[in-house]
Amino acid sequence: MPNLTASSVSVPHSPSAPRTRSGRRSPPMNNPNTTSTTGSPTGPSGPTSPTGPTGSGASGSGASTLTGRLDQAQPYALGLFRIVVGLLFACHGAASLFGVLGGAMGGGTVPAGTWPSWYAAVIQLGAGGLVLLGLGTRTAAFLASGSMAYAYFKVHQPESLFPLQNGGETAALFCWAFVLLVFTGPGALALDRLFGGRVGAGSAPRAEREEKATPVTA
């Protein structure tokens, strides 16, 4: 039989931890890709944890919800805007015609038939009242806007170029407010809506009309 000696037989051995200078084995190093004793996976930078939705997504969802609520309240905001503008405009007409609320020209009234003051006061009272009620809103707003444009360019603008210098801020603001109502309609809380749009047709906001016209699919 062959003579088997320790020098002739090579025995495989498993890799061992490196030894220190004193001959002792150093403790084994942790593998970053192994599982820790607690059972949670670890990585090079420490234990990992599940992450939830990012902050940007949450903030985007909140902004979308707020925008939706503002869109739903838009007809009511427009209706309140219409009521305030119509009320203030009608008060100007009442003050000039009847001397109430301080009157016109230092507490008096505008003489009947005086051009253009008396006719402007009639338009203010009549068109302002219609806009306030939301009755024939587009037509009344168009008439009121035209009267304010005439007042600005005929009375105020010849004095100076800018409204702050010629005293025409009120006329300019009323003019553009009524132009807005011509294009948007009366909004909510209007008699035009109560009568089903027969007076001041098309007064409902465009987005609302498109939503009603869109068929519902299963």
Give me the DSSP letters along 164-198: HHHT-HHHHHHHHHHHHHHHH---SS-HHHHTTTS
Kindly tell me the burial class for residue 141, based on how many C-beta atoms sit within 10 Å of its own C-beta (0-12, 13-18, 19 or more).
buried
Q: Give pLDDT, residue 63.
A: 79
Six token digits for residue 174:
């009323």
Instruction: Say whether pLDDT at 74 is over 80.
Output: yes
Reduced to 3 states (helix: H, G, I; strand: E, B; else coil), residue 41 is: strand
Q: Burial of 150 by CB count in 10 Å (0-12 exposed, 13-18 middle, 19+ buried)?
A: middle
pLDDT tens, 124-142? 999 999 999 999 999 999 9
Given a cut of 60, whether residue 79 has pLDDT beyond it is: yes
Phi-psi region of 136 (alpha: psi -120 to 50; beta: other; left: phi over 0): left
What is the structure's pLDDT at 146? Answer: 97
For residues 23-46, give the mean pLDDT: 50
Mind listing the pLDDT tens digit for each residue in 182-215? 999 999 999 998 887 554 444 445 555 555 555 5
When pLDDT is averaged across residues 105-110 and rounded to a whole number, the result is 82
Q: How far apart are CA 66 and CA 133, in angstroms?
A: 30
9-20 average pLDDT score: 50
Per-residue pLDDT tens over the stretch 154-166: 999 999 989 999 9
- Mean per-residue pLDDT, 41-61: 52
CA dist., res. 109 & res. 161, Å (int) = 29
Q: Quote the mean pLDDT of the chain.
A: 77
pLDDT at residue 119 tops 90: yes
> Strand pairing partners for 43?
46
Provide the pLDDT confidence category of residue 106 given band limits of 50, 70 and 90.
Answer: confident
- Read off the pLDDT band of 27 (50, 70, 90): low
Higher-confidence residue of 152 and 213: namely 152
Q: Tens of pLDDT along 80-102?
A: 999 999 999 999 999 999 988 88
